[in-house]
Chain A
Amino acid sequence: MFRNYFKIAMRGFGRQKLFTFINVVGLSIGISAAVVIYLIVHFDFTFDKFHKDGDRIYRIVTNYTYSGNAGFNSGVCGPMGGAVKNQVTGIEVVAPFFTLGQPDVFIPGNTAVPVRFKNQENIILADGNYFKIFEYKWLAGSAQHALDAPNQVVITSDQAKKYFPTLSYDQMIGKIVTYDTLKTTVTGIVQTIKENTDFNFHDFISYSTNQTNKTIADQLQLTKWGATNSESQLFVKLSPKTKTAHIEKQINGIFNKNYKERAGVSHSYHLQPLSDMHFNENYYNFFDDRIASKTTLYGLLTIASFLLLLGCINFVNLTTAQATQRAKEIGIRKTMGSSRKQLILQFLSETFFITLAAVIISIALTPLILKLFADFIAPGINANLLGQPNLILFLVILTVMVSLLSGFYPAILLSGYKPIMVLKNQSVPNSSKSHNAYLRKSLTITQFIIAQFFIMATILVSKQIYYVMHKDMGFKKDAILIISAPWKNLTIKKNRLLIDYIRSIPQVSLAGLGGPPPSEDGNNSTESTYMDGKKEVKIELDEKYGDENYINVYHIKLLAGRNLRASDSTSGFLINETYARLINPQYPLEAVGKQIEKFNGDKTMQVIGVVGDFNQMSLHESITPLAILKGNQTYNYARIHIALKPEIAGGNEWKTAIASMGTYWKQIYPDDDFDYRFFDDSIAKFYASEQHTATLLAWATGLSIFISCLGLLGLAIYTTNQRTKEIGVRKVLGASVAQIVTLLSTEVVSLILIAFLVITPIAWWAMNKWMQSFADRTTISWWIFVLSGAGMIITAVFVSSFQTVKAAIANPVKSLRSE
């Protein structure tokens, strides 16, 4: 029976080549999107899902408020690990660990000079408890004792092969690995985790090393309750059936017993579930690991469902539109003894074949799409069917679901025809007023709603991105180069040598030393007090460190007072206008010369100048009080800010200048790679996620318009065929081609207008919501909506005109005679 259906289906497809093509293309697009998005979503949602008892594993994190601002830290203070282990009940295992900042790794080889691996990440200090919470497969050594003593190290198999390419795992035991200056002995090799995980550590140095190594002990700060460091992390595995609130209460109790909060600051400790770690943007993981955004993932899912829905709608529309053509076959089959069930099965299997074809096309397309979107897609994602049984299962479910969604209604409708109607040569009710035609119109409206929503969203997001990229942030951002000195080997003296050389390069117009540039992700805040007569004004502010050239490199405007000078002490500083207004709301420029007390806790400072406001962070954030000051720490001058002279069009002077800086850098910092960035590139990166959104939306828009227009074209062909006779009669009666085209296009236009009325308020609401994440935003102009509505109408009329014009210019005598 199935073979029979297949045969008939194939012949039908052959006869209705265009409709079949539209259906397959529409569904292929939807299904391809669904497959790619499934891969992305599945990838992120399976992170660290494989750990045994994962639902009992938590990270203890620190939340704090600082003068009313919320802060989050993925670490805990140094003593917390020991205290939790000894005092908290309800916990099975406590595993503190410490992530080491990029040491160089040395492996003594046969030659005199050891093999060196520079700036290695994913190296931590941990004890045996880490391996009790997270189970690894041990290839050499044992979980019980591998990290008992100081200066021991456990290495994952992949990393071990890099260190000791010629040795077997057993032979590696006892070998020496040196981290910067810390010498350790290999006591275990564990299998590298192959599942999706954020735990990519590959070197585990024994935590107890702090007992013998003062540098390590200093970093761990094991006795300081007041210092929270995100490198010091604490994982626990709760006993079965323990409530997190019970644990949190105990931990906060311990903290409050040991530490007296400063005024305006409060800490609280929370248990972050393992499953939350991959998604919670408040907390860093370990080494700047990618945090996935659930909002983005859900957004992607929505896009996929919409595109699928559009494909299904095409199918339903085209199939029901053709119902009359199939009515005869249905009638005959029923008189041949077919039951309704059998007919439904037959139609569903036809849908199934179409869907299957679309699925096969999608499988072929997926690797290409993954390549096309490589920028957004995590590198671990691939479309390899063999390695991913879950993907096969998904495809099966998708095929069945899409077949049902597209095929069910047409199957019910078609199989319901009474044979008698057909046999009596009565036409099957399919006029414009029938139930079925209403359904078709509603579905078409739905398509236009989806397409217009995407158009509106794309226009708005692009408008906002254009706005933030072109908005004057209060400083110059192009032709500025920032060089970051290597923090490990940095000295002010070396930086001065470097900047002196840079100033001698003819392409450089100005260069200065300082900390972060005017605008950067992340800030450095502190507190100050201003005595307004007797009244104490507490002001929280941002700090930027720079020398006398800093504001000139960035063209930051000096509104009053004077700039910093090379001869100034560190107690004079510049403030921005927002700060100045807090000191003197009416005449902010009179803040010059005022004393600021308790700056950074205890210093007394003097305002020597007021600069114009500029955005210290992306336009997501608003402008806050800010000080520009000279620092006395090496890291206050870690960066060199360089203003370049304009380049002659097509020239490569900058390239030459940068190459020359790089050469000199090698003399000063021979061990480190030359690290430079253009400031405007970093600014653009603020909006990387919005740029991604815009690109995705543009694709979604293009595809949804494309699918809808395909369907529209199909419907246009069908209706014009249906109305051939009417068109002929009208033409004989004197209607012009334009009148006929107008007549045939009115319906499409009115459907789009209905869709427009439905979607505009919804789109407006959604846009408003999205814009809330920007402190500084463009307006949601009326023309966004008009443009999308008009664009949709023009596109749709244009697409259907291929058919309507053809029908309108056809010779009426012909169409009437053939009736």
Chain B
Amino acid sequence: MLSLQHISKFYQVGGTRNFVINDISLEVEAGEFISIMGPSGSGKSTLLNIIGMLDEPSSGYHYFVGETVHQLKDKQRSALYKKYIGFVFQAYHLIDELTVYENIETPLIYQDFKSTERKAMVADMLDRFQIVGKKDLFPAQLSGGQQQLVGIARALIAGPKLLLADEPTGNLNSKQGEEIMQLFKKLNKEDGVTIIQVTHSEKNAEYGSRIINLLDGRIESSKQL
């Protein structure tokens, strides 16, 4: 579903190029559940953002669901993104001004779903995550774990094929983290959503089907579970 070939990303610092991603090649099949690990500053987030088309590599080739991403215009890229990708963040990144219900609904608005359809889909999602009672609350009125649930619900609402998660459990306690991981596993197994997550926790990494270790912008090791 996804192929990166010789992807590099550097920042020009003074006169020298500072490589954050250094010639990474990576194939991801549909249905995989990949955990990316590595020390702080090794380029995990950068890699994930490149995969999610939020960031652009300095060089290399990028293919996604048969499209040549590195040749696409911004508009086509965001259309592709809208259609296939959902993002979950460590800091949840909910819109503070919107209620739980409205946060989950937002991606549907941008994808031009009709109001009645949206209602049904959001109700379904609230049900599935058992947060119906919280739907009219604002993010500030939720606990961290609840906020992350909303974040995931929002990422899943439009039915993405690829879910990208950057330290989704980073701000949660271990029990909350475990629940989220169970959820991911279920999504991957039952709904066939391809998942790529960044994590610092060995335990959480092992929910995946493959673990990739990054060091200084290179893939140091990759192990199939």
Contact = CB atoms under 8 A, between A and B. Distances in A.
B110 A337 contact: yes
Nearest to A8: B97
16 contacts: A4-B102, A4-B109, A8-B98, A329-B96, A329-B97, A332-B94, A332-B95, A333-B95, A336-B110, A337-B78, A337-B82, A337-B107, A337-B111, A337-B158, A420-B54, A423-B93
B223 interface: no
A425 interface: yes
B89 interface: yes
Interface of B: 45, 49, 52, 54-55, 75, 78, 81-82, 87, 89, 91, 93-98, 102, 106-107, 109-111, 154, 158
Interface of A: 1, 4, 7-8, 11-12, 15, 328-329, 331-339, 342, 419-420, 423-425
B109 A331 contact: no
Nearest to B56: A420
Contacts of A342: 110
A580 B106 CA distance: 91
Contacts of A332: 93-95
Contact of A335 (B54, B97, B109): B54
B110 A331 contact: no
B54 A337 contact: no
Contacts of B87: 335
Contact of A425 (B52, B78, B91, B154): B91
Contacts of A423: 49, 54, 89, 93
A419 B110 contact: no
B75 A339 contact: yes
A interface: dominant SS:
helix
Given A328-B96, A331-B93, 16 more contacts: A4-B102, A4-B109, A328-B93, A329-B95, A329-B96, A332-B93, A333-B95, A335-B93, A336-B106, A336-B110, A337-B82, A337-B111, A338-B110, A339-B78, A420-B54, A423-B89
B117 to A, nearest CB: 14
Nearest to A5: B109
Contact of A12 (B55, B78, B97, B106): B97
Contacts of B89: 423
A337 B52 CA distance: 12
Nearest to A11: B97
Nearest to B49: A420
B45 to A, nearest CB: 7
Nearest to A342: B110
Contacts of A334: 78
A686 B106 CA distance: 67
A42 B191 CA distance: 67
B55 to A, nearest CB: 5
A765 B177 CA distance: 73
A11 to B, nearest CB: 5
A384 to B, nearest CB: 39
Nearest 10 interchain pairs by C-beta: A337-B82, A337-B110, A336-B107, A332-B93, A11-B97, A338-B110, A420-B54, A335-B87, A336-B106, A420-B55
Contacts of A328: 93, 96
Nearest to A326: B97
A334 B81 CA distance: 10
Nearest to A335: B87
Nearest to B82: A337
A1 B102 CA distance: 12
Nearest to A336: B107
A339 B158 CA distance: 16
B84 to A, nearest CB: 11
B152 to A, nearest CB: 13
Contacts of A424: 45
Contacts of B96: 328-329
A338 B81 CA distance: 10
Contacts of B55: 420
